[in-house]
Amino acid sequence: MFPMIGVTIPMDLSKNCNSAKREIVPILAVIGTSGSGKTTLIECIVKNLTDRGLRVGTVKHVHHHGFTIDTEGKDTWRHSKAGARVVICVSPNEMVKIRHRLSPHDNDLGSALNSVREDNLDLLILEGFRSEVSGNERIQKIVVAKDEKSLQKVLENVKSPLLAISGPVANGTDLKLDKGVPLIDIPRNREQLIQRIFNAFML
């Protein structure tokens, strides 16, 4: 399912991207402990891929109970309190969809993935969702870690395919890994990581 190695990155992919709607959006999961640099890595990947003309989406897992993107007292909040299951807010620059949970499992990863089906993405990047994706052998993963101890903790439950290991642990370490998984220091070896993403997903 996740493809051949050896694809060369064109400098400008906007001419090469398939404009037809994808049946299945490829998924890349960035996993690691809190404060390991997941968001910084995702920023780097998104910028480099979108600069090459790709359409990239992200899904961020928020652990905090009680988190809401809405603001108490605002119109959208009032719509929700009145019972609206879905509230869509449209402004000149953005459109936001707020979907409220009907049960504890209503807004799981599957629901998030279903919500991006119509966005015609070339790649969807997940931040977090470690327990949901670590054992999934169909999802490419990048593990981000601060140090060897936290890396070993994350790797305990991670199944292939593992695209790379990054974060502070990759900066000047002599750590040796099995299975040919590279340690990639960002930003120094950013292009190596982008190349591996292109190769893995045949972008």
Beta-strand relationship, 86-90 and 95-99: antiparallel
pLDDT digits (tens, 9 = 90+) for 6-46: 222 233 333 334 445 556 789 999 999 888 999 999 999 99
Q: What is the mean pLDDT of residues 162-189?
A: 82
Q: Which helix (H) or strand (E) holds 198?
A: helix 190-201
Give the C-alpha distances (Å, rounded to integers) separating 188 from 4, 43, 44: 25, 15, 12
The CA distance from 20 to 178, in Å, is 38
The closest alpha carbon to 32, from 173, 174, 168, belongs to: 168
Least confident of 103-107, 149-153, 176-180: 103-107
Return the number of other C-beta atoms located less than 10 Å from residue 145's C-beta: 26
Place of tokens 């809190």: 34
Domain locations along the chain? 13-66+104-201
Q: What is the CATH number of domain 13-66+104-201?
A: 3.40.50.300
pLDDT value at residue 28: 95
pLDDT digits (tens, 9 = 90+) for 39-76: 999 999 999 999 999 999 998 877 656 656 677 888 87
pLDDT value at residue 60: 83
